[in-house]
Amino acid sequence: MKIVIGFIENEQGQIYVTRRALNSHLGGYWELPGGKLEPNETCEAAIQRELKEELNIDVQQFSLFNIIQDELEFHLYDISYFTGEIKHCAGQLDGNWISLDEIHRYLFPQKNIAFFTEWKKYKSQ
C-alpha cells in the first residue's frame, strides 16, 4: 500500500502538523498531512487530493524528496506552494505550526518520527 505525506513549511522553518480526531485510529495523535492512494490514483494526484480533503488547500508546486519502504510505502513530498487558507476538514481535530525542535512535545505515531528525520536530511543538503 502506498501513502503520501506532505511537508508544508512556513517562512520561519516550521512544519504544519494536524491532530487526528479523537474517535479515529490513533485518535488525538499528531501527524503530518496525507493519506492512502485510491485505486488507480498516482502519488502526485493523491497528495493534491489528500491536502485538499484534509486542509482545504490547493497544492500547486511539490516535489518528491524520499520514499520509505517497510510494510507500507511512504512517499514524502515537499509542498513548496499552495493556494487557499488552511482549514481543518476530513477528521482533523486541529493543527499547528511546529519547529523540528518541538516534535518531542507532541504525540506522533512512531513512523512520523522517521519522516521528520528524512526531512532534516533533505533540508540540510
pLDDT at 64 over 80: yes
Take residue 83 and report the three cell numbers written for it: 493556494
Superfamily of domain 2-123: Nucleoside Triphosphate Pyrophosphohydrolase (3.90.79.10)
- Which pLDDT value is given to residue 5? 98
90 pLDDT above the threshold of 90: no
Q: State the DSSP code for 102.
A: G
Rounded distance, CA 89 to CA 124, Å? 32
Q: Is 34 exposed, middle or buried (0-12, 13-18, 19+ CB in 10 A)?
A: buried
Domain ranges within the chain, ordered by starting residue: 2-123
pLDDT higher for 66 or 71? 66
Across residues 43-71, what is the average pLDDT? 96
Mean pLDDT of 87-106: 89
Rounded alpha-carbon distances, angstroms, from residue 21 to 89, 97, 111: 10, 18, 18
Categorise residue 64: left if φ over 0, alpha if ψ from -120 to 50, beta otherwise: beta
- Distance between CA atoms of residues 53 and 63, nearest Å: 19
- Give bridge partners of residue 61 from the DSSP assignment: 81
Q: Quick one: pLDDT band at residue 23, thresholds 50, 70, 90?
A: confident
Q: What pTM did the predictor assign?
A: 0.94
**Residue 119 main-chain phi, psi, to 5 deg:** -65, -45
Condensed to tens digits (0 to 9), the pLDDT of residues 29-42 reads: 999 999 999 999 99
pLDDT of res. 24: 84
